[in-house]
Structure 1
C-alpha cells in the first residue's frame, strides 16, 4: 500500500465526500478515485458505500482507517526520532493545555525547560480537554496537560496534581452575610461556562441531586480565564479553580463560598498516545510537570 494513497483515504473518510477531499488536497477527483480503487484491490473489499449525497466507510473501511492512521503515525514518529538522534533536547513539542494548567502549571515547567534546552520550541493549544483529545488522536499533538477523564484504549495518562473547583464570589457579596447552603446559593445569579462543560455539568447535577433548581446563569462564558475578573466586577457567583484564590497570584477581592456540596475534586494529568514516539524534550517536559 502506498502511504500517499492512505493519506488521501484518511481525508476522504474524514469529509465523507470525494469532491471536498479533492479541494482540500489540491488533487483531481479521478486521482483520489484511483487511490481508493488501489486500496480496495489490496484490501479485497469495498471501503466506502453511498450515503445520501456523500459516502461513508464500510466495516472494512473502518478497519482500513485505523491502520492508515497508525501507519501515518509510525512514519511521522520514525522521521522525528531519526532527526532527533544526536540533537538532544531540541526540536518541537506540540502540547494541548486546558486553561487551568496553562495558567498555573505550564509557566514554571516551560521556564525550566527552556533554561535547560534553549533550542526547544513549543507549540501550545489552549482549549478544553474534549476539544484537545481529537487532536491527540489525529497525531496533531504530542501530549495533553488536562483534566482526568475515563481511560481510553491506546492512551497513557499520568496524574500531576489535584485541583479543587469551588464556588467563588466578590468578598463583598451578600452570600457571606448569612448561613451558606446550596438552597441559598440558588437565590443568586451566576456567571458560568456553557452547558456541556464538565465543571458546569457537575455543578448543575449537584443542584439536581438535592431537588433544587439549577443556578440562574446571567452571563455565560466559554473563557475560563475571564471568569475571576467577571466575578469581581459583576458581583455574580461562579465556579472556578481554588488556585485562583490561593498563592501570590490570587485575586484578593474574591473569596471561596465554602460548601462541601459545591466542592468538585479533580486531577490534572498528562496524556499521550501509548505507542507514540515522544521527543526527548516532551519527555523532559512531563518530568518537569510531575
Structure 2
C-alpha cells in the first residue's frame, strides 16, 4: 500500500465526499478514485459505499482507517524521533488545553518551558474536551490538558489536580443574605454554558434530582473565560471553577455562594498517545504541568 494513497483515503473518509476531498487535497476526483481502487485491490474489499449524495465507509473501510492512522502516526513519530537526535529541548509542541487550565496552569508552565528551552515553539489550541479529543486522536495534537473522561484505549492520562465547580455571584448580590439551600436559587437568573456541556448538565441534573425547576438562564455562552467578569458586573449567578475565587488568581468582587450539594468535583488530566514518540520538549512540558499542579 502506498502511504500517499492512505493519506488520501483518510481525508476522503473524514469528509465522506469525493468532491470536498478533491478540493482539500488539490487532486482531481479521477485521481482520488484511482487511489481508492488501488487500496481496494490491495485489501480485496470495497472501502466505501454510497450514502445519499456522499459516501461512507464500509466495515472494511473502518478497519483500514484504524490501521492507516496508526501507520501515519508511526511514520510521523519516526521522522520526529530521528530529527530530535542530539537536538535537546528544541522543536515544536502542539498542545490542546481546556480554558480553566489555559488560564490557571498554562502561563507559568509555558514561562518555565521557554526559560529552559528558548528555541522551542508551542502551538496551543484552547477549547472544550469535545473539540480537543478528536484532534488528539487524529494526531493533530501531541498532548491534551483537559477534564477527565472515560479512558481511551491506546492513550495515557495522568492526573494533574482536582477542580471544584461552585455557584458564584457578585459579592454584593442579595443571594448571600437570602439563599440557604438549592431551592432558594430557583428565584435567580443565571449565566451558564449551553446544555450538553459537562458543568451545565451536572447543574441541571442536580436541580432535577431535587424536583426543582432548572436554572433560569438569561445569558448563555461557550466562553468560560468571560463568565467570571460577566457575573461580577451583573446580578446573575453562575457555575465556575473555585480557582476564580481564591489564591493569586482570585477575581475581585466575586464570591462563592455556599450551597450544600451544589459543588461539582472534576479532575484535570494530561493525556497523550501511549507507546508513541514524545519529543524531549513535549516530555518536559508534561513534567512541568505535573509539577505546577502539585504546587497549587
Using the TM superposition, give the Cα deviation of residue 178 of structure 1 relative to its aligned residue in structure 2, in angstroms: 2.5
Runs of 4+ in structure 1 deviating by more than 6 angstroms, as ranges, are none
Distance in 1, matches of 2:192 and 2:176, equals 20
Match for residue 94 of structure 1?
A: 94
Distance in 1, matches of 2:110 and 2:182, equals 40
Within-5 A mapping of 1:26-41? 26-41=26-41
Alpha-carbon RMSD across the aligned residues, in angstroms, is 0.8
Could you list the runs of 5+ residues in structure 1 that have no partner in the other structure? none
Match for residue 61 of structure 1?
A: 61
Distance in 1, matches of 2:50 and 2:115, equals 55
Match for residue 133 of structure 1?
A: 133
Match for residue 122 of structure 1?
A: 122
SS in structure 2 of the partner of residue 252 of structure 1: coil
SS in structure 2 of the partner of residue 177 of structure 1: helix
Match for residue 84 of structure 2?
A: 84
Match for residue 50 of structure 2?
A: 50
1:155/1:273 contact within 8 Å kept: yes
1:194 aligns with 2:222: no
* 1:232-262 deviation per Cα after TM superposition (whole angstroms, max 9, x unaligned): 0011000000000001231221110112311
Using the TM superposition, give the Cα deviation of residue 188 of structure 1 relative to its aligned residue in structure 2, in angstroms: 0.3
Using the TM superposition, give the Cα deviation of residue 179 of structure 1 relative to its aligned residue in structure 2, in angstroms: 4.3
2:182/2:260 contact within 8 Å kept: no
Match for residue 216 of structure 1?
A: 216
2:179/2:185 contact within 8 Å kept: no
SS in structure 1 of the partner of residue 86 of structure 2: coil
Calculate the TM-score normalised by the size of structure 2.
0.96
SS in structure 1 of the partner of residue 70 of structure 2: helix
Distance in 2, matches of 1:179 and 1:222, equals 27
SS in structure 2 of the partner of residue 146 of structure 1: strand
* 1:110-161 deviation per Cα after TM superposition (whole angstroms, max 9, x unaligned): 1111111111110000000111000000000000011101111111100001
1:286 aligns with 2:286: yes
Moved more, 249-258 or 207-216: 249-258
Within-5 A mapping of 1:90-239? 90-239=90-239
Match for residue 260 of structure 2?
A: 260
2:245/2:251 contact within 8 Å kept: yes
Distance in 1, matches of 2:161 and 2:179, equals 32
1:180/1:257 contact within 8 Å kept: no
* 1:92-126 deviation per Cα after TM superposition (whole angstroms, max 9, x unaligned): 00000000000111111111111111111100000
* 1:190-227 deviation per Cα after TM superposition (whole angstroms, max 9, x unaligned): 00011111101000010011010000000011100100
Calculate the TM-score normalised by the size of structure 1.
0.98
1:245/1:256 contact within 8 Å kept: yes
